[in-house]
Chain A
């Protein structure tokens, strides 16, 4: 074959291969588009293996830290991809990464050089171990730990975050990227928030700052200033769009003690009390009508970000005891200041000085017996409407008609609320029941010879007697100038004792005339 024949054969072969090459090129181009997409077109380092002996051939600015030359200009690709030798490519360098890395190639390289007297090879961080140099990958944290293993075993567990990361407050992260930040395993524990996180935060607040700002803490903690660990966290700049965080509150075990309601005052008032971690002043105002000093020290809800614990008005367990409305006196007398924590002074008067039976001041219970507040009812000291009422008050309905027996069998002192003369006797007088003289009108008609037999009854129920009988009635027989001069004193009566205390009352019987003829 002649040269001229060989050349013709070559042209003939090229003609036959041309369409296939064209098709292959098109396929490769399409594949390239498919692989690299219409957006950012990452550089396929491995495909360019052997073409770039040095990383700095393209990444000229990395050693010097010149970000403008971190990446080669797009037109440098055209040196090969001119559309003749190679297909044209559209590549633009990536924009600056939005990350939270505290990393500088220059500084890092200098540190390595100072420590090892060797120049740091890019492949150490940017290529997996054992892979070709041009099998470039973004560095991952575990690769950092390959050198920094002496300081940490696990990226998210015990690595010093500030070695590689800046605080979240210094980043330009979006809400989505913040929400996507990886969480250490500790955060997934059920007891992390209620038990752990405070301790960890106090130990290493800088670690928290990597992913959190002070605003996160303020989402739960009412008084952030009392915790140095929180104060050390930077606040988020206005431009940082933080994802919302719902406040979580966990009831300490102490709060679940049966007598916590009665006992919490002392720990709340103690120095170093931690109530303001979860409670705003409004929490306490739910129960405390009058602010104790410990409550006044809490921040108001309007001035803090955290919502604070929502509390419900609840009476102590003692309030649901049988006959509490009749037996709370001892509890109140033993610790009146405790009552004042929830009840205003006028609250007591609503019952103890009520204007009328069956009025709006009525309690829930029927007949003043049994229950005063069923478990689901709340005290009315705070104006809470009671549940469905059965219309009774401290005294049962129609107590005016049925109080005689209760007066005789009293367990409470009626005269604490009702003056014997101005109330009891005033009504009895109008009702025609008061005494009309010493000889007896026959009111106590169930017992014969009552005038002679009433002594035992009088000593056993003298309060009831005094509700109808005036003193002068009894003095008609039981005084020195009375008809029968019957001494009313018991055998243990000590006259000298009272002469020094109130001699005037002695005169009442021993000098004054019960029939009105002469009085001292």
Chain B
């Protein structure tokens, strides 16, 4: 089997990518220089980051049936399960290591003082370039994305945004090119309405443009998003947000999504703090995700307990068939505790157990497990001489996969503007109903330096040793990852009259 070339498939071309990144860098430089003219009314960040990632893909190989033998009712090749159809058996083996190098250029900018009181502009642009390697990191062939680009006019009681923007709500992130208006209807009530051309979830392009080459049944028309929300506040740190959102195609012949959400928090039962959220899929007439969290700080102030009851049912857009496959939800109970024995030291632990609803699927041989447990614990200690030590352990024992991982990190600040550190990790996992994969051990180092008031450099490198178990056809290998970034900040915070932060 040949490994298909992937990619996000919107617009490609290495030269075009480099051109876009270069243009973005030039634009960023102009913005940085121009900040002097608007020193008190512009604030932004220019982030250039690069990643080097090694991966070892899988190749699908085949052997004749005769080369395999039957063990406990299934075929195996040298102790490894194979899938046989007819006279041919297939299995996955490790391919040669590959690498990917990705360059990302971000420019984020917020400008005020544009001649009209309350007028501001926000910009978040991203350029990407694939700098080489046989493996193409996802989205690296998408050279340019305007993630945010809107103008905002704010007054005491209302605010209007126009342009490319994203709503962040209990329904997740919804990007659109349009208008968003919010009004302080009452001292305790805000009303919001928004709408515009919808962008694909997790992407910054219209659905029919972004996914047409990647997926079936993608609508061939523009999608439009409309929504409304209410935010109410009450004493005792109580706030409730209610939202309705609907997405349709241009000819209104198809509904892509119709959802509602409620999010609330309150301190009415102080010292217990409560948070609750629920989203409702109107189209499917069912509750999607919901949770109720109670947090209780104990009187001495050093121990905080938190309990959560959670429901999770995945959401799928109506243009896909997935939602019609009747996914089932899980219900989970989670307990967390955090203890701060002294300033600068924290120990925490959490545990959860979940159960899935009856999938009502045919049972062959025996049912799969419909339960899962999670456990995590960690600690963070701030030591003298600007040292921070942090460690955590995590256990995921799910119905389809298993992960046991431990991480340790040490950070040191030898100077006010310099942080260095090292980290180590070890994890063992079983992936998606596969035979155990073995153990990965890793170590890395990183540094972060504020080389000037507005310039920051950061970078790190990690090496991982992957040793397989139960897979004679999988080769142990070392994996290297590295990253680096340079960050420029410019402009001033509004209202600080020339002082920067």
Contacts and interface: CB of A to CB of B under 8 A. Distances in A.
A505 B320 contact: yes
A260 B254 CA distance: 47
Contact of A330 (B275, B380, B427, B464): B275
B322 A471 contact: yes
21 contacts: A282-B499, A333-B261, A356-B49, A359-B49, A365-B380, A367-B407, A370-B390, A396-B405, A402-B427, A413-B315, A419-B200, A426-B6, A433-B58, A440-B83, A442-B82, A445-B434, A462-B314, A501-B255, A501-B283, A504-B217, A504-B319
B195 interface: no
B277 A289 contact: no
Nearest to B75: A442
A352 interface: yes
B362 A455 contact: yes
Interface in B413-438: 413, 417, 419, 421, 423, 425, 427, 429-435
Contacts of A446: 81, 430, 433-435
Nearest to A468: B432
Main secondary structure of the interface of B (DSSP, over half): strand
B254 A441 contact: no
Contacts of B403: 402, 404-406
Given A322-B350, A331-B275, A402-B427, A409 B495 contact: no
B311 to A, nearest CB: 11
B265 A301 contact: no
A445 B495 contact: no
A284 B83 contact: no
Contacts of A387: 382, 388, 413, 419
Contacts, number: 550
A375 B343 contact: yes
Contacts of B431: 404-405
A431 interface: yes
A124 interface: no
Interface in B110-126: 110, 120, 122, 124, 126
Contacts of A392: 407, 409, 423
A439 B402 CA distance: 25
Contact of A289 (B82, B361, B494): B494
Interface residues of B, number: 212
Contacts of A431: 3, 55, 57-58
Contacts of A492: 326
A322 B336 contact: yes
B370 interface: yes
B411 A458 contact: no
A291 B494 contact: yes
Nearest to B490: A383
A475 B57 contact: no
Contacts of B210: 419, 422
B3 A432 contact: yes
B496 to A, nearest CB: 5
Nearest to B457: A360
B85 A383 contact: no
A478 B362 CA distance: 14
Instruction: Sort A-B residue pairs by CB-CB distance and give the 9 closest, nearest first.
Output: A490-B326, A442-B83, A285-B495, A455-B361, A405-B403, A419-B202, A432-B58, A333-B263, A355-B104
A142 interface: no
Interface string B459-501: 0101010100000000000010101010101000111110111
A295 to B, nearest CB: 7
Contact of A369 (B241, B320, B394): B394
Interface in B191-205: 200-203
A359 B124 contact: no
A172 interface: no
A102 to B, nearest CB: 43
